[in-house]
Chain A
Amino acid sequence: MSHQSATLAAATRPADPTKLRALEVLPWVAALTFYFVAPGYEPLATQVFVMILFALSLDLLVGFAGIVTLGHAALFGTGAYAAGLLSVNGITDPIVTAVLATLAAAAVGLVTGALMLRTKGLALLMLSLAACFLLYEVANQATPWTGGDDGLQGVTFSPLFGIFPFDFRGQTAFFYSLGVLFLAFLAMRRLVNSPFGWSLRGIRENDGRMRALGCPIYLRRLTAYVLASAIAGLAGALQAQTTQFVALHVLSFQLSGDILIMLILGGAGGLYGAFIGVPVYMLAQDLLAKQDPANWYLWQGAMLLAITFFAPGGLTALAQQALSAIKGKLRR
């Protein structure tokens, strides 16, 4: 089948997407600049990087495979608790725990995905929610292991590569999470531009036709789900490592919803939505909560409403429109 879907993909493929565009360097330059112009903001920036990685994994599902889920935090939380529990039980190397946490989330993704992906649409949405609630409740009830509502206390990680300790200022955490995000992004970029990535787009657009072409839809969707789970788990592990803490919130429905909002805000299905939506959402949140600690949710809601009305395709679409308008003017 790969041959057929590859030809299909080639037919619909725009200009060679594997070629690096100048604009794509921008987020990384911005991240490094941020480090120099905003000292003291490292913890916030680290949080943003972790959430971008998490949003990227959701983009693979929502934007490319067309699998809309409301329980993506289940996998993020699995990764976070896996890393946290390993640390509490004496395995504190950041790289080792990150790898094991990624595998743990992939395993959970395989089990839940194998069940969920037999359904589509609303049923799938409900099942993803249910899986998230189930895991949340398990963590909530298993107080002796997880600390329940008190959170997992005593999470510490040994220095990165044995050299860089996770310092109080958050410098190691900053560069570590930025590095992991960069590597994961390169892998994701490769993935979505591969024949496999294009077959996912095909399934999203018209799964009946893909089936007629001989594409094993269930397997493809499951593979995408497990891969997305692994990346979400990696993001969760990063969260546990950089904050040295795991709270029940990492498994919550609220986080699942928040990350979906951040992705839609940026624009799903282009890999770059996460890089715009997450910083905008989180920096606005930080700013609003500082200005008005009591009513900031209201302002955040107003902001989201405005964006949904005026930029329904997300901020990336808006930026692209603006960009092509400028280009058009220049040509004239």
Chain B
Amino acid sequence: MPAGGGLRALATAAVLGTAALMTVPAQAETVMVGVILTYSGRDAALGDQIDKAIRLFQKLHGHELPDGVKVELIRRDDTGPNPDVAKRLAQELILREKVDILTGGQWTPNAMAVAALSKEAKIPFVTMTAGGSKVTLQSPYVVRTGWTLWQSSYPLGQWAAKNGFKRAYTAVSDFAPGHDGEEAFTKGFSENGGEVIGSVRIPLKTTDYLPFLQKVKDAKPEVLYHFNPGGPQATAFMKALADIGLTNSDIKIIGPGDITSDDELPNMGKAPLGVITMLQYSPAATRQANKDFVAAWKKEYGADSVPTFFAVAGWDGMRAIYDAVAAQKGKIDADRTMEFFKTWANPGSPRGPVRLDPVHRDIVQHMYLRRVEEVEGKLANVEVETLPQIGDPWKTVVLGKQ
């Protein structure tokens, strides 16, 4: 800058100063994201999967935001399926920490409670792994990056009926996703000529599956549809199955992938061999995006650690949040964020291409039929069939509009 008269220097300084002032706000945009997951108690293993995915995502992709924009996470422990606790924590995150976005939503009951708040407070809520169909109806500010029980169980019912099974029994955990799974399977199965001869609902907090399985054994169905929330519960179920002599029996065991979740497979012995499940993700999948993801995971958390569909739901949840933050350059507006989510898609997800359905804000994804097989001495969920781009069938089949 040439040094002219004093007046000119002053004018230049003023212009420069104004310009500097105008660029300042773009420099320090910190987006506060409240994360409510289960970090303690029996189901901490599930929350741990999601949290590991969140940390891995931040490590690998945290720098991809525009200059000066930061995402800060505030974690809270809901201690399990306790909707009252989750609701209070969400309220506190909104009031005290002034979060811009809420996420987590590990359990359907908790997600329902938090969703109701998100509507009142106008805070976008990215629910990661709650599988009850009705969650997204609770509030226009909810999106789901995980799955619904209908997505797996309705096609599974159709598959079972078309593959020669005539008489089925259902045994599900007694909470919203379990009820959804039972209803979805029953509908898919009976629409195609099958008959559900009995059903039992198992208390969510049970540890002993034997009495329920005895009922199933006595009824002698051809196929048993089962759902539990995965994690340690899945292992407890498989052990009970072996104890009562139902593994490799005439009763085929099928269900959503929760019942053979990949982190628990090594603890299950040989019990799950041959079990057929429907799910949107298996770490054994050979897609390049998945190979990269699993490799990064094992590098970070050790060779014995396996990412499950919980992790992938958390991963894509973070992807969606980061994309929304980047698109708005860190200035989060609830309605603009929801508008952005309507067209959000991630073609490179480890589970294959995913997108959000603009009407119900539910995830649309490939579903895979998998069989538990022994691969190189270890059990794995091997994908045997692909059903491309399934939305939440409940919204079309039951709600009847989309």
Contacts and interface: CB of A to CB of B under 8 A. Distances in A.
B174 A293 contact: no
Contact of A294 (B44, B85, B95): B44
B121 A293 contact: no
Contacts of B44: 294
Interface string B70-111: 000001110001111101100110011000000000001100
Q: Which of A151, A246, A293 has the most CB of B within 10 A?
A: A293
Contacts of B91: 43, 168, 170
Given A140-B203, A150-B83, A151-B83, A289 B76 contact: yes
A296 B77 CA distance: 9
Given A41-B96, A153-B112, A148 B175 contact: yes
Contacts of A229: none
A238 B269 CA distance: 49
Contacts of A41: 92, 96
A151 B109 contact: yes
Contact of A168 (B39, B96, B120): B120
A40 B175 contact: no
B96 A293 contact: no
Interface string A284-305: 0000011001111100000000
A150 B112 contact: yes
B26 interface: no
B174 A148 contact: yes
Given A168-B121, A245-B87, A296 B40 contact: yes
Given A245-B87, A295-B40, A149 B77 contact: no
B88 A151 contact: no
B204 interface: yes
A245 B84 contact: yes
B77 A289 contact: yes
Nearest to B87: A245
Interface string A244-270: 011101100000000000000000000
A143 interface: yes
Interface in A121-140: 140
Contacts of A170: 91, 95
A60 B203 CA distance: 34
A241 to B, nearest CB: 13
A68 interface: no
A293 B76 contact: yes
A193 B205 CA distance: 44
Contacts of B176: 149-150
B380 interface: no
A243 to B, nearest CB: 6
Contacts of B75: 293
A47 B91 CA distance: 13
Q: How large is the interface on A (under 10, 10 to 19, 20 to 34, 35 or more residues)?
A: 20 to 34
B98 to A, nearest CB: 9
Contacts of A296: 40, 77
A150 to B, nearest CB: 4
A50 to B, nearest CB: 12
Contacts of B87: 243, 245
A151 B110 CA distance: 9
A270 B77 CA distance: 34
A146 to B, nearest CB: 12
A127 B19 CA distance: 76
Nearest to B90: A43
B113 interface: yes
Given A170-B91, A295-B40, A40 B96 contact: yes
A289 B91 CA distance: 15
B84 A40 contact: no
A209 interface: no
Q: Which of B77, B85, B117 has the most CB of A within 10 A?
A: B77
Given A47-B88, A243-B87, A294-B44, A151 B113 contact: yes
A294 B109 contact: no
A169 interface: yes
A44 interface: yes
A167 to B, nearest CB: 9
A247 B40 contact: no
A277 B372 CA distance: 52
B40 A43 contact: no
Nearest to A151: B83
Given A150-B83, A150-B176, A243-B87, A40 B109 contact: no
Nearest to B38: A293
B301 to A, nearest CB: 15
A294 B117 CA distance: 25
Contacts of A43: 88, 91-92, 95
A243 B88 contact: yes
Contacts of B121: 168
A297 B175 CA distance: 26
A296 B44 CA distance: 13
Contact of B40 (A40, A140, A293): A293
B74 to A, nearest CB: 9
Contact of B108 (A150, A168, A293, A297): A150
Interface string A155-190: 000000000000011100000000000000000000
Contacts of A243: 84, 87-88
Interface string B161-193: 000000000000011100000000000000000
B112 A297 contact: no
* Shortest Cβ-Cβ A-B pairs, 8 listed: A40-B96, A149-B175, A293-B77, A293-B39, A40-B95, A247-B84, A151-B83, A150-B109
Interface of A: 40-44, 47, 140, 143, 148-151, 153, 168-170, 243, 245-247, 249-250, 289-290, 293-297
11 contacts: A140-B174, A148-B175, A170-B95, A243-B87, A247-B83, A247-B109, A289-B77, A293-B39, A294-B39, A296-B77, A297-B40
Given A149-B204, A296-B77, 20 more contacts: A43-B91, A43-B92, A148-B174, A149-B81, A149-B109, A149-B176, A151-B84, A151-B109, A151-B112, A151-B113, A153-B112, A243-B88, A245-B113, A246-B84, A289-B76, A293-B37, A293-B39, A293-B40, A294-B39, A294-B44
